[in-house]
Structure 1
Amino acid sequence: MDLTALVFSSGWASGVNAYATVAVLGVIARFTDTSIVPHALGRTDVLVIAVAMFMVEFVVDKIPWLDSIWDGISTVVRPTVGAWVAWQLAGDSSGVDQAMLTALGGGTALASHGVKSGVRLAVNTSPEPFSNAIVSTTEDVGVITVVSLAVAHPWWALSITASLLVAGAATVVLLWRTISRARRRRRARTP
């Protein structure tokens, strides 16, 4: 049962920042004696690629509109990484269990990616340049914290990530309604 919570939480994290998720799990696998994270995630080649791509995303994700292009490309990458991480975590589970956990990880990653992309599109409508950097940094810190917590306390992480997913979806709906109303009012004022 802890595995389901870990897969859900790592799936959520992968949807927000797949590379940070793999990097944190890899560091935990490499430098701790935990058996819950497979050693494949701690391989040198996996860690180098994850850290390098995290550094690229760290920069790109803070530039307005470029972050949305990156999110568009990541629509395929993040759920795929979420499913791969879940498959790795499922390890020796039976075929059906492994398939269900893989689908849970990929599906949760797709859902959280949708929320992240929606929020970022809304943030991009803001005229000031700092909101993107603040939101992006908050996401990075959140992913690192959730993944670390998921390994130690998977059910706490599940509660947090499920709450963040629901709150994020509600925020996206609220933001887009607010933006739509503002656009309608602006159009009504122009002759």
Structure 2
Amino acid sequence: MSVLPLVFTSGWASGINAYAVVLLLGLFGATGISDEVPESLQRTDVLVAAGVLFLCEAVADKIPYVDSAWDSVHTVIRPVAGAVVAALLAGESGSLPELAAGAVGGSTALMSHLVKAGTRMAINTSPEPFSNIAMSTTEDLGVAAIITFAMFHPLAAAIIAATLLVLGVVTVVFLASRIRRFLRRRAQRREERRLAAAEGLPQRPPH
């Protein structure tokens, strides 16, 4: 059976939370739930690192503005993780060239990451933190659910992931005005900090 549906689903999930994907796949392989997980993802050091980073993301992802900063840092990390995981899955299966799998996983991860980052920018135009917490929790549970589902029904999981990706793109387009508002606010804050620092340069600290 082709590993392409699992590659696509893992790529989509990696764009949202790459550490959760690595941790879940590794655990599924280590516990014998799936024999399609490469041994490199089942290593203890990989599982520990993924677990620690997942906990860091679970906290950072729920704090307004910190979540967007975290997303900015992971603009490269998530697509690369999606590509690497996809290539490893393809190498384990042998039914899909690793380069092609990496391209599918990486590009899908990039698209879902941009959807996530754009949605968070729109949410951060609201001053309350509860929407950030609710969205982050929903994303974490969604990634866990769809990766688990993909272990048993890869094609159905891929269809769900593709549907969510399309809906996410439509949502970001719909929220474009709020995203632009967030970017203007962030640029304004940077300019205010720059001016404050410049004005403070000639001043000497009081004795």
TM-score by length of 2: 0.83
Contact conserved, 2:122 with 2:178, CA < 8 A, in 1? no
Contact conserved, 2:91 with 2:97, CA < 8 A, in 1? no
Alpha-carbon separation, structure 2, partners of 1:53 and 1:178: 30
Displacement of 1:174 after TM fit? 0.5
Indicate yes or no: 2:84 matched with 1:88.
no
Displacement of 1:178 after TM fit? 6.0
Q: Which has the higher helix share?
A: 1
SS in 2 for 1:91: helix
Indicate yes or no: 2:29 matched with 1:29.
yes
Contact conserved, 1:10 with 1:82, CA < 8 A, in 2? yes
- 1:159-186 C-alpha deviation (Å, 9 max, x unpaired): 11000000000001111246669xxxxx
Alpha-carbon separation, structure 2, partners of 1:131 and 1:34: 35
Contact conserved, 1:2 with 1:155, CA < 8 A, in 2? no
What is the percentage of aligned positions where both structures have the same residue? 53
Contact conserved, 2:121 with 2:178, CA < 8 A, in 1? no
Unaligned runs of 5+ in 2: 182-207
Residue in 2 aligned with 1:124? 124
Displacement of 1:128 after TM fit? 1.6
Alpha-carbon separation, structure 2, partners of 1:151 and 1:12: 15
Residue in 2 aligned with 1:168? 168
Q: Give every structure 1 segment of 4 or more consecutive aligned residues whose post-TM-superposition deviation is greater than 4 Å.
A: 178-181
Alpha-carbon separation, structure 2, partners of 1:179 and 1:138: 20
Structure number with bigger Rg:
2
RMSD: 1.6
Corresponding residue pairs, total: 180
Contact conserved, 1:14 with 1:21, CA < 8 A, in 2? yes
Residue in 1 aligned with 2:73? 73
Matches within 5 A, 1:92-111: 93=94, 97-111=97-111
Contact conserved, 2:10 with 2:86, CA < 8 A, in 1? yes
**Which amino acid counterpart does residue 90 of structure 2 have in structure 1?**
A
Residue in 2 aligned with 1:43? 43
Alpha-carbon separation, structure 1, partners of 2:101 and 2:82: 10
TM-score by length of 1: 0.90
Distance change (3 Å), C-alpha of 1:57 and 1:164: same
Q: Taking CA–CA contacts closer than 8 Å with sequence separation of 6 or more, which of the two structures ends up with the larger relative contact order?
A: 1
- 1:24-45 C-alpha deviation (Å, 9 max, x unpaired): 0010010125221112111100
